[in-house]
Amino acid sequence: MTTAPPILKHPMVKYIREDRMPAIYCPGCSIGIVTQMVARSIDNLGLDFSKVVIVSGIGCTGRTSGYFKTGTFHTTHGRAVVFAEGVKIANPELEVIIISGDGDIAAIGGNHLIHACRRNVDMTIVCINNFTYAMTGGQFGPTTEHERFSQTSPRPIGNPEHPFNLVQLAASSGATFVARWTATQVRRATASIEKGIVKKGLSFVEIVGACPTAYGRMNRLGDGLDMHKHLLKVAEIQNGLPPHEAELDYDRRIVCGEFVNMEKDEYTAVLKQMREKLRK
């Protein structure tokens, strides 16, 4: 009689709700990779996981929070950042991480993003930029490049609008740590997420990812493997480059790196000082 070989568990599975596997993601999607980046960041930092709060909005990326085995919340579309602000301000002891999509963070939630950056609340936003509203089937969004095809900019029309550069947006709004990586630069991206978590202030980490099912298909970019190979090819590391030079041109050049890391009064610390001032 032969004994079955022991089933090896993924080292990050301790952070994941195994009873919810398999996740809803399509084969070849980047979201699973980013989920792992966040888990590894938490693990590398040795955080008390029960004090970590993971918040998402709505979308494929928005489902991420639900796979983590801690206090997690799935807000309405676009509101992950403001829900998270309420959590962090009411209990600054908690480590608050937001994981959501480009549409959630920069379109319907765009106003909240810029004001959270301005306020400089100590939280980490991980935004997966797949250039589309994937969950609803692949319409163009705030990061879709001009003339790209989508369900609402069909062939041969193409996207009439122009994209936000999320790094520039977050940096100019006052975020104190800003980085961009592609989903293929796992180690570097994980290190930036760690730095973002440690940073006392608002950290914004953009992960450029692949949605082969919607964006890839409509723009004939190949399958998940092709798209990730492409991301690796065009990723150009330029740490410390001024954010306004952090170009993102999908076909040619995706500038990656850490672009902002500065000191600024953090919001919950300021509130604490104000309370103390009144007590005197």
Residues that bind ligand SF4 in the complex, under the rule CB under 6 A: 25-26, 29, 31, 60, 130, 134, 211-214
CA-to-CA distance for 144 and 177, rounded, in angstroms? 24
CB 152, CB 200: distance < 8 Å? no
- Verify binding: residue 35, ligand TPP, rule CB under 6 A: no
- Residues in contact with ligand TPP, counted by CB under 6 A, come to a total of 18
- Verify binding: residue 95, ligand TPP, rule CB under 6 A: no
Q: Which amino acid is at 24?
A: I
Written as six digits, the tokens of 119 are 């306020």
Nearest to 266 by CA among 116, 54, 126: 116
Q: Which of 130, 144, 219, 268 binds Mg ion (CB under 5 A)?
A: 130
Q: Which of 16, 43, 74, 261 binds another protein (CB under 8 A)?
A: 74
CB 13, CB 42: distance < 8 Å? no
Residue list 181-240, contact with another protein (CB under 8 A): none
The residues near 85 (Cβ < 8 Å, ≥ 6 apart) are 116, 119, 121, 123
Nearest to 66 by CA among 14, 1, 119, 16: 16
- Verify binding: residue 104, ligand TPP, rule CB under 6 A: yes
Residue list 136-175, contact with ligand TPP (CB under 6 A): 136, 141
Nearer to ligand SF4, 62 or 109 (CB): 62
- Verify binding: residue 102, Mg ion, rule CB under 5 A: yes
Coarse DSSP helix, strand, coil percentages of the chain, rounded to the nearest 5 percent: 40, 20, 40
Residue ranges binding Mg ion (CB under 5 A): 101-103, 130, 134
Residue ranges binding another protein (CB under 8 A): 17, 20, 50-51, 53, 55, 65-66, 69-76, 79, 82-87, 89-91, 93-94, 111-112, 115, 271, 274-275, 277-278
